[in-house]
Amino acid sequence: MGLLENFSITSFVLSTIAFFVAQHYANRYMDGNDFPKGMTRTLTVLIAALAVSYGVSATVDWTVG
């Protein structure tokens, strides 16, 4: 049971929502500043959204206990 021992459904749901919201706003920011579409932009948006998602997940786990 070690892998799912600290699993929190609240953390999962909120971090998933945060991922898609961060992805949307990162894409809007890139569009507004005329960044060219391509692999570098896609990876940058992915990494930014993942960072926000991990941050939300860690915050929820720390808050909920």
Taking only the tens place, the pLDDT of each residue in 20-61 is: 999 999 999 999 999 999 999 999 999 999 999 999 999 988
Contact at 8 Å (CB) between 22 and 55?
no
What range defines the domain where residue 27 resides? 16-60
Q: 38 in a domain, yes or no?
A: yes
Domain membership flag for residue 10: no
Distance between CA 44 and CA 39 in Å, rounded?
A: 8
Cβ distance 8 to 61 under 8 Å?
yes
Identify whether 51 is part of a domain: yes
Helix (H, G, I), strand (E, B) or coil at 9: helix
| Residue 49, in any domain of the structure | yes
In-domain check, residue 36: yes
Assigned domain for 56 exists: yes
Under the phi-then-psi rule, with left for phi > 0, alpha for psi from -120 to 50, and beta for the rest, what region is 10?
alpha
Q: Is residue 9 part of a domain?
A: no
Over residues 2-26, the pLDDT tens digits come to: 555 666 888 999 999 999 999 999 9
* Count of domains observed in the chain: 1
Domain membership of residue 35 (yes or no) is yes
Alpha-carbon radius of gyration of the chain: 14
